[in-house]
Amino acid sequence: MNSNHRTVVITGASSGIGLGLAEAFLSQGYNVVGNARTDERLAIAAAHLDHSPRFLGVAGDIGERTTAQRVIDRAVERFGAVDVLVNNAGIFIAKPFAEYTEEELDALIATNLKGFVYASQAAAAHMIGRKRGHIVNITASIALQSNIGVPAALPVLIKGGINQATRALALELSPHNIRVNAVAPGIVDTPLYTPDMHGFLNSLAPAGRIGKVSEIADAVLYLSNADFTTGVILPVDGGMSSGKW
């Protein structure tokens, strides 16, 4: 066990923003417990992180309560405690509202909603016992300001609800010295988007470009060090959610 460092649990940690978060927290001296669906994906992530002894992968579907509890339990078993939970796991399906399928709705609810609820419940129960902790939710800028060019009512429904739940939980958990915040990314340069899509994506923000994974990680690290900040939804979106432009 290495308990000389603070420990963060990151869901959806095998690629994109989640992998960038794991890298950033390791660079700050944290132990990192990363969740992804399969051991294979976590093995690739571990290799990207140079097989750091401060990285522990725990596979499973975070939309299942037993997985969420197991991730927290393994973190405590290996590193002694959980200081930060980053609810990063999520899927984004943009399409006209009338065209969403039952399977897509179920997938969005399982990963985006249940994944947030179950992981947060397990972490909060642990943190209440310790009288300290921090939960960060990765939501979406488009849940703050809709965009006619990106129809995405169902992700907006869930991520917008998590934005509001962030504020409610910040109040509820404040007496236990637990902070709850959210980072709301705009469009971010991840393997989800091919280079031929960047021209259109760059046009979606006043800044004229898409974001970098490192910029989302910087925001999460800032909130993790901002001890008097709770109940905040921080857009990192090049101005995308500021209003009509």
Q: What are the structural domains of the chain?
A: 7-236 (3.40.50.720)
Whole-number CA gyration radius for the chain: 17
- Nearest alpha-carbon partner for 139 in 151, 153, 155, 124: 155
> Structure tokens of 191?
């393997």
Spatial CB neighbours of 199, under 8 Å, sequence gap ≥ 6: none
pLDDT (tens, 9 = 90+) of the chain, 245 residues, equals 444 589 999 999 999 999 999 999 999 999 999 999 999 999 999 999 999 999 999 999 999 999 999 999 999 999 999 999 999 999 999 999 999 999 999 999 999 999 999 999 999 999 999 999 999 999 999 999 998 889 999 999 999 999 999 999 999 999 999 999 999 999 999 887 888 888 888 988 899 999 999 999 999 999 999 999 999 999 999 999 998 87
> Structure tokens of 96?
């006209």
Distance CA 145, CA 72 (A): 33
